[in-house]
Amino acid sequence: MPVVSRKVIVELPAEAMFALVDGVEAYPEFLPWCAGVEVFGRTCAETHARIDIDFHGLRSHVATRNRNEPPEWIHLALADGPFEHLAGHWHIRPLGPGGSSVEFHLEYAFTSRAMEKVLGPVFGHVVQTLVERFVERAEAVKAGGASLPARPFIPAIVPVVPVAQDVPVTPEAPATLPPVVPP
């Protein structure tokens, strides 16, 4: 299973870097292989979105349901795409008021060897260069040549329920989920 780990230091506060990574709506502006995005739902604690990939005419997509712990963690989990497994995280640590340490970790496996042969080189290139693209965007934001993405609230399709919550489910007493509260 391929694993990608990168760690860099950027001259952008952790809160701003978190906004940049979580601001999937702006990805087509600075990720050259990103053909589009669709945000299915967003709360303070979760972003559920699809990224369309077009690399020299080879097209695919990946949808993730990311658990957010602003401004330090974004935990990536596969929702849809040509993968049997895809999981990882962004860990953004503050380094004073004007900088942050950014760690990206991702592990993935395609659904089949045929899919890996076709999409493996493309996805490998995408994830190997991803952090560099975010560093370039952070530099552009710092220099005033780009702005941080505006992230509108989009109600989540499925409410986010904390994992630690123990909700008994029986035919007589179905689970009731807490309401989604906008930020």
Q: What is the DSSP string of 155-175?
A: --SS----TT------SSS--
At 22-67, the pLDDT tens digits run 999 999 999 999 999 999 999 989 999 999 999 888 899 999 999 9
Q: Is the pLDDT of residue 91 over 70?
A: yes
Fold of 3-143: Alpha-D-Glucose-1,6-Bisphosphate; Chain A, domain 4 (3.30.530)
Q: Count Cα atoms within 13 angstroms, Cβ side, for 95.
A: 12
Beta strands 83-94; 46-55: pairing state:
unpaired
Tokens of 163: 């994992």
8-state DSSP, 27: H
Q: Please give the distance of CA 137 from its chain centroid, rounded to a whole number.
A: 16
Is 90:106 a contact under the CB 8 Å cutoff?
Answer: no
At 12-24, the pLDDT tens digits run 999 999 999 999 9
Domain limits, the chain? 3-143
